[in-house]
Amino acid sequence: MDLKELYRDVILDHNKKPRNFGRLEAADGHAEGHNPLCGDRLSLSVRMNGERIEDIRFEGKGCAISTASASLMTEAVKGKDRQAVRELFDRVHALLTQAQESPDASLGKLAALSGVREFPARVKCASLCWHTLNAALAQQAAPVSTE
């Protein structure tokens, strides 16, 4: 078990200085995510331009994996349309849970999360933001939960 594989520099950097942190004043979608096992809480707001995510912010308290994952996600999905976000989620999910022969080049910086796969207890930390984004895009009223 190599800690450096999990806590890569990109992860530690995004944990310390999360990008797109805060709250959007004029949001079209908003959702809360909660992982009751570890107490992680995430609040996500999105502003749409048609089918496209024009802007996105998140705030909350969480572990390094959940904070970095949310930060990386906001960078990756800004400017993408719903369909592209769905496809990206599928690829991230595969990255977090399935052994892969070679890294998915299309993931860019998100590939830094590949170390999570070796730590099954931490997969939910990395995927919380994505489930919350789905909820925000679907305009779900109820908070999503990892449980």
Q: Which residues bind other proteins (CB under 8 A)?
A: 1, 3, 6-7, 12, 16, 37-41, 61-65, 119, 121-122, 125
Nearest to 109 by CA among 9, 20, 42, 16: 9
What b/e string do you get for 80-92 counting C-beta neighbours within 10 Å, with b at 16 or more?
bebeebeebbeeb
Tell me if residue 53 falls in helix, strand or coil. strand
- Work out how close the CB of 41 gets to other proteins at its nearest, in angstroms, rounded to a whole number: 7
- Work out how close the CB of 29 gets to other proteins at its nearest, in angstroms, rounded to a whole number: 25
Nearest to 6 by CA among 131, 99, 145, 126: 126
Residue with Cβ nearer other proteins (55 or 59): 59
In the DSSP assignment, the letter for residue 115 is G
- Work out how close the CB of 8 gets to other proteins at its nearest, in angstroms, rounded to a whole number: 11
Residue with Cβ nearer other proteins (36 or 79): 36
Q: Residue 28 CB: number of other CB atoms within 10 A?
A: 16
As a whole number of angstroms, the distance between CA 50 and CA 42 comes to 25
Partnered with residue 49 across adjacent β-strands are 52
Residue with Cβ nearer other proteins (5 or 81): 5
Residue with Cβ nearer other proteins (30 or 122): 122
Say how many residues make up the chain: 147
- Work out how close the CB of 34 gets to other proteins at its nearest, in angstroms, rounded to a whole number: 10
Residue with Cβ nearer other proteins (37 or 138): 37
